[in-house]
Amino acid sequence: GDQADLPRWFQRLLRRWLARFHVTPRSDLEGKLQEVATSLNATLTFRYLYRRYAQLAVLTRPG
């Protein structure tokens, strides 16, 4: 997630920790997944979890 609802000090600490594993937050994830859903004629269900620490996305195709 983008961690927008977490304290700034925790965001900095978490981003440094994630960088050790070559992981970075994807602030554009919802938009990109919506593009994929549209191209597949699918429905995107997207929500933030744990004060925006994580994101949950589900693509559902008709049928």
Residue 1 lies in a domain: no
**Tokens representing residue 53 in the block:** 């620490």
In angstroms, the CA 36 to CA 5 distance is: 27
In which domain, by residue range, is 37 found?
8-60
Residue 48 lies in a domain: yes
- pLDDT (tens place) for every residue of the chain, 63 residues total: 777 788 999 889 988 999 999 988 888 999 999 999 999 999 999 999 998 888 999 999 988
Residue 56 lies in a domain: yes
In angstroms, the CA 20 to CA 34 distance is: 29
Give the total number of structural domains in the chain: 1
Measured on CA atoms in the order 37, 50, 2, 21, is the torsion positive or negative?
negative
pTM of the model: 0.72
Residue 16 lies in a domain: yes
Residue 14 lies in a domain: yes
Residue 25 lies in a domain: yes
Residue 26 lies in a domain: yes
